[in-house]
Amino acid sequence: MMGVLALLQDYTIQNVVAGAALLGLISGVLGSFAVLRQQSLLGDTMSHAALPGVCLGFIIAGTRHMGSILLGALATGALAALVMLLLTRMSRLKTDAGLGIALSVFFALGVVLLTYIQGMNNAAQGGLDAFLFGQAAATLRSDVWIMAGITVVALALVVALWKEFKLVTFDPEFAASLGMPVVWLEVGLTVMIALAVVVGLQMVGVVLMAAMVIAPAVAARQWSHRLEDMVWLAAAIGVAGGVFGALLSALSRGLATGPLIILSVSGVVLVSITLAPGRGLVWEALRLWRGRRRQRDQQVLTTLYRLAAHHDDPVYRSEQGMLDTYHGLGTRAALRKLERRGLVEWGQAPPGEPGPERRWVLTPAGIAEAERILASLNGEGA
């Protein structure tokens, strides 16, 4: 604990942690909309497509000026989304192909521009390809302010247009019937993903940004059924994952920040999918298992009842072995449970009868329960 506190005094680490928190915040909030609108991979395309923008920003500004680089990234990211839309709307290509084409061709253009800049022998170009994987450690205080500014703008837009965005996300047709400018709202949501990508460039780089948009939102979705809760949670998960990853990288010295942030957030996804109350896989498995066991108990009980009915003997004593053959092995556990519930009991064999001495007998409560089960089954059948 002292180690972490000491770390937080470090100027560089303060910047990194602040940057990671901002990234988690903005991508958690905007990612929620993207994931719900099934546009998860658009973030992937837009982040890869930010690379040529980074290079163009550098070429135009002539130096590694953060503002122009981010502006360039924003422009080409949004342009890639537009190209993808054009390709899918105006030709027979499907969304996946449109996404893949925009992603790979824009990225290739970025690679070309990157090598072009390297060929210019400009001393200031150092570390431009750090945007591929991010270069959290090089984050300056001024970068953090820029990221904070972008985050505030994006969040303010979300708050101001909350009702509209919500409706467009869940029911665009209804939104259109209310006279909302659906196309513009969708464009707005898309461009805002580009804002998140821009914030993430420095921290996790263009390649891993996809997960940063998707993971917090998917994790949060497991815990909540309301957009409000989901967005809050996604933001919290994004911030927590970002800060945790950043601190881990600071402690480990030499491990890249971006991948650690991605792994932290993805870890939350794994936990959420398995353990979230209600939706968690573990709970579902447990429910399934319980249901199966209850059904098995009921089957054993009704078998006893039918045997008794068949022999016209309400206290017919069934052998354990016979029940095992009816149900396959392992009715003992079920019978023990029924016994504990007072539905069956051990019956003493009358003297002189061959075979095992003690057998299973239905109690009056057991008979009533078995009749209730059979009646409900018949009721369903009718």
d(CA 191, CA 78): 6
Q: Which residue in 56, 81, 185, 207 binds other proteins (CB under 8 A)?
A: 207
Q: How far is the CB of 95 from other proteins (least distance, A)?
A: 8
Cβ–Cβ under 8 Å, residues 142 and 66 = yes
Q: Tokens 């500004």 sit at which residue?
A: 61
3-state helix, strand, coil in the chain (%, to 5): 80, 5, 20
Q: Is 288 in the site for other proteins (CB under 8 A)?
A: no
96 binds other proteins (CB under 8 A): yes
In the 8-state DSSP scheme, what is residue 318? B
Q: What is the contact mask toward other proteins in residues 20 to 39, using x (rule: CB under 8 A)?
A: ---------------x--xx
**Residue 273 found at the interface with other proteins (CB under 8 A):** yes
Selected binder of other proteins within 70, 147, 239, 269 (CB under 8 A): 269
Contacting residue, 59, 71, 79, 93, with other proteins by CB under 8 A: 93
Smallest gap from Cβ 51 to other proteins, in A, equals 9
378 part of the interface to other proteins, by CB under 8 A = no
Among 213, 237, 239, 246, binds other proteins (CB under 8 A): 213
The alpha carbon dihedral of 352, 357, 363, 368 has a sign of negative
Residue 137 is encoded by which pair of tokens? 């450690």
Q: Which of 28, 241, 259, 366 binds other proteins (CB under 8 A)?
A: 259
Closest distance of CB 48 from other proteins, Å = 7
How far apart, in whole angstroms, are the C-alpha atoms of residue 342 and residue 333?
14
Q: How far apart are the first and last CA of the chain?
A: 66
DSSP 224: -
Stretch that binds other proteins, among 153-161, 204-212, 236-244, 300-308 (CB under 8 A): 204-212
Residue 246 makes contact with other proteins by CB under 8 A: no
Q: 357-361 — which CB contacts under 8 Å span 24+ positions?
A: 359/317, 359/318, 359/319, 359/320, 360/304, 360/317, 360/318, 360/319, 360/320, 360/323, 360/335, 361/315, 361/316, 361/317, 361/318
Buried b / exposed e over 241-267, threshold 16 CB at 10 Å, is bbbbbbbebbeeeeebbbbbbbbbbbe
Can you read off the two tokens belonging to residue 45?
């395309």
CB 373 within 8 A of CB 302: yes
Nearer to other proteins, 105 or 124 (CB): 105
Nearer to other proteins, 166 or 279 (CB): 279
Query: Taking contact as CB under 8 A, which single stretch among the options 6-14, 213-221, 325-333, 372-380 is the one that binds other proteins?
Result: 213-221
**What's the 3-state SS for 259-292?**
HHHHHHHHHHHHHHHHHCCCCCHHHHHHHHHHHH
How many chain residues bind other proteins (CB under 8 A)? Answer: 61
Task: List the one residue from 17, 109, 185, 239 that touches other proteins (CB under 8 A).
Answer: 109
Selected range binding other proteins among 3-11, 59-67, 86-94, 225-233, rule: CB under 8 A: 86-94
- Which lies closer to other proteins via its Cβ, residue 272 or residue 318? 272
DSSP bridge partners of 358: 348
Contact of 71 with 61, CB cutoff 8 Å: no
User: Is 381 among the residues that bind other proteins (CB under 8 A)?
Assistant: no
Residue 138 touching other proteins (CB under 8 A) = no
Contact residues toward other proteins (CB under 8 A) are: 35, 38-41, 43-44, 48, 87, 90-97, 99-101, 103-105, 107-116, 119, 129, 132-133, 207-208, 210-211, 213-215, 217-218, 221-222, 254-256, 258-260, 262-263, 266, 269, 273, 279, 281
